[in-house]
Amino acid sequence: GESVGLHLPTLSVQEGDNSIINCAYSNSASDYFIWYKQESGKGPQFIIDIRSNMDKRQGQRVTVLLNKTVKHLSLQIAATQPGDSAVYFCAEILYNQGGKLIFGQGTELSVKP
Amino acid sequence: NAGVTQTPKFQVLKTGQSMTLQCAQDMNHEYMSWYRQDPGMGLRLIHYSVGAGITDQGEVPNGYNVSRSTTEDFPLRLLSAAPSQTSVYFCASSYGAGVNYNYGYTFGSGTRLTVV
């Protein structure tokens, strides 16, 4: 079926360490993936995206890796800061279903000073 | 450029009442969607639209209606509110599926709805 899920619901890291948030998806037809950050009381905020014809994409302090063989993607945050504390969602766009955006469960990242 | 605007920010309804959650975007986005987010959970798709006059059901459409008469607006109607519809509702918009488009959806700040 169509679902995007996360391996871990919570992640606690020390300030300055690198964070890795994982996500599994089940729809092999998915062509486009997005990571969102959601702070308390706010709407999701776009972080980085990746298309299925790529296996890695880098942004500012963030990197997304895509492994289509095992239907897995990850978000790496370098030198994690207290401001990175939030819930992170992976999401996929289903082009074969009108381009709708489907979210995974979410991982809460807590950064300890 | 206001982005995605949702009104109201907070609402309390009695069981059985109806209401409309408003969503407007000024980015000329074709795609618009409504999600609900329950505590400790992800966002679930209620309804979505790929353009004016076109709507479709998402994962949890029951109890909700939508229409898309203009590109800018995508209201969500609760026909007869139930306590199970207590949630935070998010509206989102995107340019849509095109070769040179940014596919990322932009989200509003949400409407917190309580049904008593």
A50-96 pLDDT, tens per residue?
988 899 999 999 999 999 999 999 999 999 999 999 999 999 888 77
Q: Label residue B53 left, alpha or beta by phi (over 0 means left) and psi (-120 to 50 means alpha).
A: left
* Long-range own/partner contacts, residues A64-71 (CB < 8 A, 24 or more apart): A64/A33, A64/A35, A66/A33, A71/A24, A71/A25, A71/A26, A71/A28
- Chain A CB contacts of B53 under 8 Å are none
**For position A4, what pLDDT does the model report?**
58
Q: Which is higher by pLDDT, B62 or A52?
A: B62
- Chain A CB contacts of B3 under 8 Å are none
Q: Which residue of B has its CA nearest to A1?
A: B59
Q: How far apart are CA B32 and CA A60, in angstroms?
A: 28
Q: Which is higher by pLDDT, A95 or A40?
A: A40
Does residue B8 have a cis peptide bond before it, meaning omega lies within 30 degrees of 0?
yes
Once rounded to an integer, what is the mean pLDDT over residues B68-77? Answer: 97
A57 touches B: beta carbon within 8 Å:
no
A101 touches B: beta carbon within 8 Å:
yes
A29 touches B: beta carbon within 8 Å:
no
Cross-chain CB nearest to A99 (options B42, B90, B97): B97
